[in-house]
Amino acid sequence: QKEVEQDPGPLSVPEGAIVSLNCTYSNSAFQYFMWYRQYSRKGPELLMYTYSSGNKEDGRFTAQVDKSSKYISLFIRDSQPSDSATYLCAMSDGGGTSYGKLTFGQGTILTVHP
Amino acid sequence: EADIYQTPRYLVIGTGKKITLECSQTMGHDKMYWYQQDPGMELHLIHYSYGVNSTEKGDLSSESTVSRIRTEHFPLTLESARPSHTSQYLCASAGLGTDTQYFGPGTRLTVL
């Protein structure tokens, strides 16, 4: 079983919809949680970064972390066609034994159609 | 905005050639990483470095090698390219005290 599980989708929604992307994980040592967006044939771009449990909002994006359930989410409000991309969750234990390495989910392919 | 650069962006080369993929960052980050990613597939860590003269193999075995002679530069070399090396190679960096990695645009390698 993978340390991080992410529904690969694909997910197709109409413009303006609220999108929910999720990851579950098994390593309780994970403390830092990130969401990346990757357009086709490009490198991943950091979207959100959170530490421990709680919510963080940035414009149309909200990241949630529930460490007790080992579950993280990314919500996209008022989704736009330009949001069409692959979304990757990533997490780390903050140095510990992983020496700064990130564990990535498999990525969720999102398409927002006009 | 991350300042991390990769060259070339695209490379098509014949079997048996030696190639070097360049990665440079201007953020002064100590930590640098190389990932391999096939289309629509997961990222796989193949090499990482925590500073000058420090290099480690990643989770995915790779025939490539890396060097870290300068903080800002982390090149990846394939001594003899094969079609199985065809993939996208992504470089990333992170500062000390953080695990947040910033990625370059990637090099798409095709070995014929």
Residue B95's pLDDT is 87
Considering chain A, what percentage of its residues have pLDDT values greater than 70?
96
Q: What is the mean pLDDT of residues B27-36?
A: 94
Q: What angle do CA B12, B23, A44 make, to 5 degrees?
A: 85
Q: In this complex, is the C-beta atom of B104 within 8 Å of any C-beta atom belonging to chain A?
A: yes
| Tokens 């996208």 belong to residue | B88
Q: Is the pLDDT of residue B46 over 90?
A: yes
The tokens for B34 are 């190389």
Question: If DSSP states are collapsed to H, E and C, what string results for chain B?
Answer: CCCEEEECCEEEECCCCCEEEEEEECCCCCEEEEEEECCCCCEEEEEEEEECCEEEECCCCCCCEECCCECCECCEEECCCCHHHCEEEEEEEECCCCCCCEECCCEEEEEC
Question: Residue A46 and residue B102: Cβ atoms within 8 Å?
Answer: yes
The tokens for B67 are 């060097």
* A104 → chain B, closest CA residue: B43
Residue A95's pLDDT is 64
Residue B98's pLDDT is 80
* A6 → chain B, closest CA residue: B42
Q: Is the pLDDT of residue A98 over 60?
A: no
Q: In whole angstroms, what is the distance from residue B92 CA to residue A40 CA?
A: 17
Identify the band that residue A101 occupies on the pLDDT scale cut at 50, 70 and 90: confident
Question: Residue B90 and residue A44: Cβ atoms within 8 Å?
Answer: yes
Higher pLDDT, B16 or B62: B16
